Structure 1
Amino acid sequence: MNHLRFKPEAVLFDMDGLIFDTEALYRDAVIKAAEENGFNIPVSVYLETIGLPSASARALLGMHLSGEVAIDDLWKQASDQFQTMVATELRLKPGLIEMLDWLEEVRLPWAIVTSSDRDTVLSHLLAVNLRDRFRHIVAHGDYTAAKPDPEPYLKAASQLGIDPSRCVALEDSRNGVLSASRVGLMTIMVPDLVQPTPDTQCLCAYVAPDLHDVLAVLIDTLQAT
Structure 2
Amino acid sequence: MDVPDDAVLFDMDGVLVDSETYWHRFEDEWVFAEAIESGSPAHEEITGMPYYEIYDYLDAKYGTAVTKTEFMTKYEERAESLYGEQVGLTEGVRAVFDAIRADGRALAIVSSARRSWIDIVRERFGLDPLDLVLSAEEIDEPGKPEPHVYEHAAAELGFDPDECVVVEDSVNGIESAARAGAFTIAFRSTHNADLDLSRADVVAGSFGELREILFGS
The alignment's TM-score, normalised by the length of structure 2, stands at 0.85
Contact 2:15 2:168 in 1 (8 A): yes
Spell out the pairing of 1:175-194 with structure 2 (5 A cutoff). 175-192=172-189, 193-194=191-192
Q: 1:172 aligns with which of 159, 163, 169?
A: 169
Please state if 1:134 is matched with 2:130. Answer: yes
| Structure-2 separation of matches of 1:188 and 1:39 | 33
The alignment's TM-score, normalised by the length of structure 1, stands at 0.82
| Structure-2 separation of matches of 1:169 and 1:35 | 30
Give me the identity figure in percent: 24
| Structure-2 separation of matches of 1:140 and 1:99 | 24
Spell out the pairing of 1:95-106 with structure 2 (5 A cutoff). 95-106=92-103
Structure 1 unmatched runs, 5+: none
Q: 1:89 aligns with which of 82, 86, 89?
A: 86
Q: 1:38 to 1:161 in 2, by over 3 A?
A: closer
Q: 1:142 to 1:76 in 2, by over 3 A?
A: closer
| Structure-2 separation of matches of 1:149 and 1:38 | 25
Contact 1:150 1:183 in 2 (8 A): yes
Q: 1:214 to 1:40 in 2, by over 3 A?
A: farther
SS in 1 for 2:108: strand
| Structure-2 separation of matches of 1:61 and 1:7 | 36
Q: 1:177 to 1:53 in 2, by over 3 A?
A: same
Q: 1:162 to 1:71 in 2, by over 3 A?
A: closer
Measured after TM superposition, the shift of residue 79 of structure 1 is 3.6
CA RMSD of aligned residues (A): 2.7
Measured after TM superposition, the shift of residue 134 of structure 1 is 1.9
Q: 1:212 to 1:65 in 2, by over 3 A?
A: same
1:117 matched residue in structure 2: 114
SS in 1 for 2:53: helix
| Structure-1 separation of matches of 2:16 and 2:92 | 9
Matching residue's letter, 1:141: E
Count residues with an aligned counterpart.
Answer: 214
SS in 1 for 2:8: strand
Measured after TM superposition, the shift of residue 149 of structure 1 is 1.4
Spell out the pairing of 1:3-152 with structure 2 (5 A cutoff). 4-33=1-30, 45-62=42-59, 66-70=63-67, 72-130=69-127, 132-143=128-139, 144-152=141-149
